[in-house]
A and B are shown apart, each in its own frame.
Chain A
């Protein structure tokens, strides 16, 4: 019975004549998913990210030990020794448990940045592109100014001004990463603003806010999603960099960048303290990069045609 219902669902998704808007939309998503599924590297990326999400959600159940429990008599033990699968750090804490708990911190940072910066960029870009004229000129100048700043140094200066801490690090990263999204959204807006369907809606009496939110945003979203996925690795690396410099998450919080920083002193004699959290950062950002790369191939209409 289940088999026949799956089959009819597949048929519903594969039909050439969609009966409703919902069905057409579902077919589109289904086809994209089929494309993505055939891309092995992208699937590896997806699995890594799902792993990150699961680890972050169930960290207290997955971690073998308390990530904050110190035991100075068992400090700097090698991987595998004394029940420390990835070794213990300079305060005798279990590195594996700290990495597992750090997954939540990383995910939290990435989510906060991706919920703020692209949205801000989307608003600025579409308003700028749709209204044009002086608004456009002014908004784009501001965007250029922020683009002219080197990202990490501007983020450093912001964190210095706001004070070290994870929320401020997020704010600093968001403040430095919205301009490319604004540029992208503006470019997309410029290509659609003079199309007939926009003119038709305008003739029906829709105001600029309604047009931008209801009819321009949906068209900008897919390219923004690709860009965000590709940028997520960069966000993770920047956040880890801030943590490494002591400007992000504060001790004793488990954060991968800060963990590398504390392991730095012991790198020549106790290599695992800094190496393990670095591996975690590497794997997760590789996951985002692989998925973003695959998503770009699927969602890029130029490539889909060829």
Chain B
């Protein structure tokens, strides 16, 4: 649309036209994202309001007199209309204030900052496994479509989709920890290693390397290997399947035929030609699976007593600590939106076609 006016009006108009286009795009993006976030907050707010748990009782206790109860209710602003309460809630959230956790009596945001690195560490290692194994599997499955390897990848993926993560976690613990003793048990470290190194990033694998303590590093590895392999299996199932179908599409296109006719080696055709084009949609897939892992680890964290965000939310939930639950939900939701946005941006950087349109 702007292309024809640009040509006639010369160089300066091009840049201002582009600039305003970019600004428009950013503005609309900003609008969409803030609307989504607002909706997210509205939903959590409403969940918190329809809870059968009385927030006032949770603060003053069951034996409080009517006056104390009423005073607490007023001070919490619960006598105001709902939209007013919602406005107050949004203002607090934007200041990073999710209220206090009843369970730990810390501000929820501090709790989340403390537990989040554990989740991040687990999800990152799992995604690395999923990408490093899943992508080559998908590429070679597509390259030998219909072969036994292709069938194997397909069934292997379907198995991954079908296993309850908490069950396979238990079985894994039973076999590799209980029977064989190859890996560390639940938790992030053996108990006597805990709190021996200073917390810098909160991710033990990195912190122990910074402290230069290899014993703790290997102990942490032995603990993270099983849960990350299990989570990695899930992302592997998804990533290999998507890689395969993307690759099949590319391998059927004409430039691949040309490359083969030129006499290029199969490896070069696969990786240098076809795979480069697959990389683009693959980024979205990987971002999505990473985002899902940050969430999907709720059950894995429960099984492996992994002190992360998922476990924090579930234990809070089971003890009716709603501030913590809603705070955690909002944080995960924001992460979700953020990762989606990031993959959109990466997409545009990698693919010149997406930049133009």
Binding site for B on A (CB under 8 A): 41, 141-142, 144-146, 148-154, 156-158, 160-163, 233-234, 237, 240-241, 244-247, 257, 260, 264, 267-268, 271, 274-275, 278, 281-282, 285-286, 288-290, 293
Contact = CB atoms under 8 A, between A and B. Distances in A.
Contacts of A247: 317
B27 interface: no
Given A233-B162, A244-B299, A290-B158, A153 B322 contact: no
26 contacts: A41-B155, A145-B36, A145-B43, A148-B40, A148-B340, A149-B336, A150-B292, A150-B332, A151-B295, A154-B43, A156-B325, A160-B51, A160-B322, A160-B325, A161-B48, A233-B161, A241-B299, A257-B164, A267-B173, A274-B167, A275-B167, A278-B170, A282-B163, A282-B167, A289-B158, A293-B158
Contact of A161 (B47, B158, B165): B47
B295 A286 contact: no
A268 B158 contact: no
Contact of B337 (A148, A152, A241): A148
Given A160-B325, A267-B173, A267-B178, A285 B51 contact: no
Interface in B293-341: 294-296, 298-299, 302-303, 310, 313-314, 317-318, 320, 322, 325-326, 328-329, 332-333, 336-337, 340
A29 to B, nearest CB: 25
A141 B299 contact: no
Contacts of A237: 162, 164-165
Contacts of B174: 267-268, 271, 275
Contacts of B296: 150, 152
Q: How large is the interface on B (under 10, 10 to 19, 20 to 34, 35 or more residues)?
A: 35 or more
A56 to B, nearest CB: 19
B298 A152 contact: yes
Given A142-B39, A148-B337, A290-B158, A244 B166 contact: yes
A286 to B, nearest CB: 4
Contacts of A145: 35-36, 39-40, 43
B58 interface: no
Interface string B14-56: 0000000000000000001001100110011001101110000
